[in-house]
Amino acid sequence: MRNMCLIVVKNLDDLAKRKGPSRQAFLKEQLETLSIVEEEAKREQAIDDLYD
């Protein structure tokens, strides 16, 4: 990874090691999850707006 704090990289490596996959697989999974969470938040807001 480029332009990342070494402490952050080490923490990511430690997290990935505890979860099992490689750092790349771990980051891919985390980014996919983040994108789904964002979309779900948008859907929930749209539903709330309909009720208001």
pLDDT of amino acid 14: 93
Can you tell me the distance from the alpha carbon of 13 to that of 21, in angstroms, rounded to the nearest whole number?
10
User: Mind listing the pLDDT tens digit of every residue in the chain (52 residues)?
Assistant: 689 999 999 999 999 999 888 889 999 999 999 889 888 888 899 999 999 8
SS3 for 28-46, per residue?
Answer: HHHHHHHHHHHHHHHHHHH
The token duo for 8 is: 């952050």
pTM metric for this prediction: 0.62
Instruction: Return d(Cα 9, Cα 5) in angstroms, integer.
Output: 6
- Give the model's pLDDT for residue 50: 92
**By the 8 A CB rule, do 12 and 27 touch?**
yes
